[in-house]
Amino acid sequence: MYDIIIIGSGPAGLSASIYAKRAGFNAITIEKNYMSGGQILDTFEVDNYPGLKGINGFDMGMKFREHADALGCAFKVATVLSVSRNDDIFVVETDEEKLEARAVIAAMGANNAKLSAPGEAEFTGRGVSYCATCDGAFFRGKTTAVVGGGDVAAEDAIFLARGCEKVYLIHRRDELRAADILQKELKSLENVEIIWDTVVEKIEGTDQVERLVLKNKKSGEAGELSVDGVFIAVGIIPNSGILKGVTQLDDKGYVIAGEDCASATPGLFAAGDIRAKQLRQVVTAVADGANAVNSVQEYFLRKNV
Ligand SMILES: Cc1cc2nc3c(=O)[nH]c(=O)nc-3n(C[C@H](O)[C@H](O)[C@H](O)COP(=O)(O)OP(=O)(O)OC[C@H]3O[C@@H](n4cnc5c(N)ncnc54)[C@H](O)[C@@H]3O)c2cc1C
């Protein structure tokens, strides 16, 4: 019986492992990949984490994991298939065995929805990005495009317009889904141009992205757009499937939990990108890992166990 089972070893899970070990808990972290680090592993450069300026994402993941290993944190490579709660005890079923714990920290993260356009995977990190907050600064004075029509796409375009010479917002419909206030701000910006009814058919370049091949969905007309970068904002999919029916999720599938990371299910905590929150970044994920362990301590104290 473990005190805590942590599911996922991205930034949130690794931070939770470190805090749990230092708090003296008998904890184990279960990760389905052979490497820890989560989404950050695929990131060429992380330039907004204090103290590690310009670090390669893979190196950052390794550094976080080395820290946990140096403290003696326990890890297991396995995929968690289900979580259930019986009489205050959680049963975590993996593809190999069933484990029990008094508390669970869910840190399974999220994945960005893909366009599935040719060139997208090839140029990811070389002009294709899913995070304007993370990578926008690399495109200062350049021309970029944002693909999408929701709040995130509008926010990304507004954010990029502060530094880029020109920003195109490419949307497959003739109206945006973004909040009115965002649409008003977007339309007031002189360096933002919205391209309606259009999809990205292909992303092309040599070493870096150079152009997008577009198609107007209404007229069928094809075209090309020269850009230095393209930000894809067509949705984020939280990895919360195993928690359906176990705790409360919002309409997008994020676990409903506040800054204390406590979900609606006693003893189940959610840390990092899987949690309903405003900003999904490494710095907020590691903060959640720490807060989740602190909340576990309070939960055990309250239960007097
Ligand atoms: C391309 C890209 C660039 C980014 N750049 C930056 C940046 O520059 N700066 C920044 O701050 N943030 C950046 N981010 C965001 C940042 O990576 C995330 O906010 C952060 O990784 C979230 O950490 P997490 O631990 O919550 O989740 P994740 O990193 O998603 O980790 C979740 C982990 O859980 C594991 N897992 C999932 N399901 C299971 C299961 N059922 N069983 C076992 N294991 C499971 C996964 O394999 C994964 O390792 C970027 C994201 C992307 C995609």
- Secondary structure (DSSP) of 115-139: ---TTTTTTBTTTEES-HHHHGGGG
Ligand 1 pocket at CB < 6 A: 7-13, 30-33, 38-40, 42-43, 46, 48-49, 79-80, 107-110, 112, 130-131, 134, 239, 242, 272-273, 280-283, 285
Residue 298 vs residues 120, 277, 294, 303, 304: alpha-carbon distances, Å: 45, 22, 6, 9, 9
Predicted confidence (pLDDT) at residue 137 exceeds the cutoff of 90? yes
Predicted confidence (pLDDT) at residue 154 exceeds the cutoff of 70? yes
Please give the Cα distance from 285 to 63 (Å, whole number).
16
**Catalytic position from the list 3, 73, 135, 228:** 135
The residue with tokens 């749990």 is 20
**For residue 42, what pLDDT is reported?**
74
Instruction: Enter the tokens of residue 114.
Output: 């893909």
Please give the Cα distance from 260 to 85 (Å, whole number).
20
Q: Residue 156 catalytic?
A: no
Q: Residue 135 catalytic?
A: yes
CB 147 within 8 A of CB 233: yes
What's the pLDDT band for 151 if we cut at 50, 70, 90? Answer: confident
The DSSP output letter for 266 is T
**For residue 194, what pLDDT is reported?**
97
Q: At what angle do helices 11-22 and 282-303 cross, to 10 degrees?
A: 40
CB 105 within 8 A of CB 83: no
**Catalytic position from the list 134, 228, 261, 273:** 134
CB 133 within 8 A of CB 158: no
54 CA to centre of ligand 1 in angstroms: 18
* Residue nearest (by alpha carbon) to ligand 1 atom 37: 108
**For residue 44, what pLDDT is reported?**
73
- The sign of the torsion formed by the CA atoms of 265, 267, 268, 272 equals positive
Mean pLDDT of 159-186: 95
Q: Which of 19, 39, 92, 279 should be mutated for ligand 1, with most atoms under 8 A from CB?
A: 39
Which pTM value belongs to this model? 0.85
Please give the Cα distance from 253 to 211 (Å, whole number).
34
**For residue 62, what pLDDT is reported?**
97
**For residue 179, what pLDDT is reported?**
87
CB 13 within 8 A of CB 35: no
35-74 CB burial, b ≥16 within 10 A, e <16:
ebbbbbbebeebebbeeeeebebeebbeebbeebeeeebb
**For residue 275, what pLDDT is reported?**
98
Instruction: Enter the tokens of residue 230.
Output: 């393209």
Which residue ranges form the domains of the chain, and what is each CATH number?
A: 2-112+236-303 (3.50.50.60), 128-232 (3.50.50.60)
Residue type, 31: E
- Summary mean pLDDT of the chain: 96
Q: Which of 62, 97, 134, 244 should be mutated for ligand 1, with most atoms under 8 A from CB?
A: 134
CB 211 within 8 A of CB 225: yes
CB 14 within 8 A of CB 113: no
**For residue 152, what pLDDT is reported?**
86
Q: Which of 282, 283, 288 should be mutated for ligand 1, with most atoms under 8 A from CB?
A: 282
Summarize pLDDT for 59-89 with one digit per residue, the tens.
Answer: 999 999 999 999 999 999 999 999 999 989 9
* Residue nearest (by alpha carbon) to ligand 1 atom 7: 134
Which SS3 state, helix, strand or coil, does residue 219 take?
coil
Please give the Cα distance from 146 to 26 (Å, whole number).
45
**For residue 305, what pLDDT is reported?**
61
Predicted confidence (pLDDT) at residue 47 exceeds the cutoff of 90? no
Burial class (CB in 10 A: 0-12, 13-18, 19+), 130: buried
Q: Comparing 46 with 288, which gets the higher pLDDT?
A: 288
